[in-house]
């Protein structure tokens, strides 16, 4: 005679026909997952500008997922994934712009400091030191034409520098002349190391009723192969009252 009893209890299995269990089931939003994946992959855009499509697509998928989740009356899940993907994608879109802005601000400040110091050398009469901080000083004098024995000797770059009218005006201003930045006339970042900045200064001699000399200085920040380091150099200096722009760069 069997004495065992059959003990039955509630089943832990999920039944789709059970209203209470069905009401707690939520479908994971596929666009939310795609937005998260694209957000995680968005740092790849730093390696190639064309890959900016990744964070842009991540923003689109994440926003679409959030709209679907909000309008699903609780049937769709995945809001944390969509929000995370959205934040990551937006951050990767904004980061390069912010980086470029900060770099421009930093480089412009460095250029202003360098140009101000350079102009102080010129107004104090130390044109030799000032010339050594120009790109022309790196090129040296032009080689004479070997085919023409009667060709005149190429002009010395330093003499050419001193003979510029604007340099003559500045070198007579005196060491006590006031050098003041008036405006930034141009900024051209051709690469991380090769940058051109054009600034306009007013140089006022320390004399009664002296008229300020307006001068435009274009600086180049680049890596010098012979020195193995990057530094600022004067690219051009000219009359600031005449319209001008950043010159077309030439190879060193």
Does residue 154 sit in helix, strand or coil? coil
Domain ranges of the chain: 20-99, 105-140+155-239
H or E, element range at 157: helix 157-162
Q: In which residue are the tokens 């937006």 written? A: 90
pTM of the model: 0.67
Q: What is the per-residue pLDDT across 85-94, written as a single tens digit (0 to 9) for each?
A: 999 999 988 8
Q: What stretches of 99-212 adopt beta strand conformation (E)?
A: 178-189, 195-204
H or E, element range at 232: strand 229-239
**CATH code given to domain 105-140+155-239:** 3.10.450
Residue 144 — very low, low, confident or very high, per pLDDT cuts 50/70/90? Answer: low
Q: Name the nearest CA neighbour of 248 among 206, 218, 221.
A: 218
User: What contacts 146, CB < 8 A, 6 or more positions away?
Assistant: none
User: How distant is the alpha carbon of residue 244 from its chain centre?
Assistant: 23
The CA distance from 81 to 34, in Å, is 9
pLDDT value at 248 more than 90: no
| pLDDT value at residue 13 | 47
The CA distance from 214 to 211, in Å, is 9
| pLDDT value at residue 7 | 44
**Rg, C-alpha atoms of the chain:** 34
Residue 150 — very low, low, confident or very high, per pLDDT cuts 50/70/90? Answer: low
**Stretch 30-41: mean pLDDT:** 92
Q: pLDDT higher for 81 or 247?
A: 81
| pLDDT value at residue 232 | 95
CA torsion sign for 70, 74, 77, 79 is positive
Q: What stretches of 32-116 adopt beta strand conformation (E)?
A: 76-77
Q: What is the per-residue pLDDT across 49-61, written as a single tens digit (0 to 9) for each?
A: 788 899 999 999 9
Contact call for residues 29 and 65 (beta carbons, < 8 A): yes
Does residue 221 sit in helix, strand or coil? strand
């Amino acid at each position: 005679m069997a004495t065992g009893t059959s003990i039955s209890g509630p089943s832990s299995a999920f039944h789709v026909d059970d209203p209470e269990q069905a009401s707690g089931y939520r479908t994971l939003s596929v666009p939310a997952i795609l937005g998260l994946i694209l957000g995680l992959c968005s740092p790849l855009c730093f390696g190639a500008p064309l890959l900016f499509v990744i964070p842009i697509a991540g923003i689109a998928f994440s926003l679409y997922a959030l709209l679907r989740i909000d309008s699903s009356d609780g049937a769709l899940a995945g809001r944390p994934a969509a929000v995370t993907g959205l934040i990551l994608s937006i951050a990767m879109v904004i980061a390069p712009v912010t980086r470029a802005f900060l770099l421009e601000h930093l480089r412009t400040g460095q250029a202003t400091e360098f140009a101000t110091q350079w102009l102080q050398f010129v107004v104090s009469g130390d044109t030799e030191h000032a010339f050594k901080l120009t790109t022309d000083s790196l090129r040296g004098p032009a080689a004479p034409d070997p085919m023409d024995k009667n060709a005149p000797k190429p002009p010395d770059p330093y003499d050419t520098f001193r003979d510029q009218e604007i340099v003559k005006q500045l070198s007579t201003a005196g060491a006590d002349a006031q050098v003041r930045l008036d405006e930034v006339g141009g900024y051209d970042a051709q690469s991380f190391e090769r940058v051109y900045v054009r600034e306009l200064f007013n140089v006022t001699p320390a004399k009664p009723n002296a008229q300020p000399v307006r001068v435009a200085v274009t600086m180049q920040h680049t890596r010098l192969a012979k020195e193995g380091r990057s530094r600022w150099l004067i690219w051009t200096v000219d009359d600031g009252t005449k319209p001008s722009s950043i010159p077309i760069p030439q190879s060193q």
